[in-house]
């Protein structure tokens, strides 16, 4: 997920606990990173709507 966001121009701003905060055009979106566990489909859809990047 983070790799797709980076290719779409999102930049890793900071890491706060287990969340990577990605920024682009003054907009910040937290992305959870919990080891090798999968992110739920609802959360993937929410991040896709916030960023405008197709993640599926």
pTM over 0.85: yes
In a domain, 41, yes or no: yes
Flag whether pLDDT at 40 surpasses 90: yes
In a domain, 56, yes or no: no
Cβ proximity of 36 and 44 under 8 Å = no
Question: Domain holding 29: CATH number?
Answer: 3.30.920.30
pLDDT per residue as tens digits for the range 22-33: 999 999 999 999
Domain of 14 in residue numbering reads as: 2-51
Flag whether pLDDT at 56 surpasses 90: no
Per-residue b or e along 7-44, where b marks 16 or more CB atoms closer than 10 Å to that residue's CB: eeebeeeeeeeeebebebeeeebbbeeeeeeeeeeeee
Structural domain count of the chain: 1
Flag whether pLDDT at 53 surpasses 90: yes
Chain center to CA of 29: 6
pLDDT of residue 49: 97
């Amino acid at each position: 997920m983070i790799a797709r966001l980076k290719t779409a121009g999102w930049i890793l701003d900071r890491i706060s606990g287990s969340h990577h905060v990605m920024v682009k055009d003054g907009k910040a979106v937290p992305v959870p990173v919990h080891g090798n566990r999968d992110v739920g489909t609802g959360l993937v859809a929410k991040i896709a709507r916030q960023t405008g990047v197709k993640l599926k």
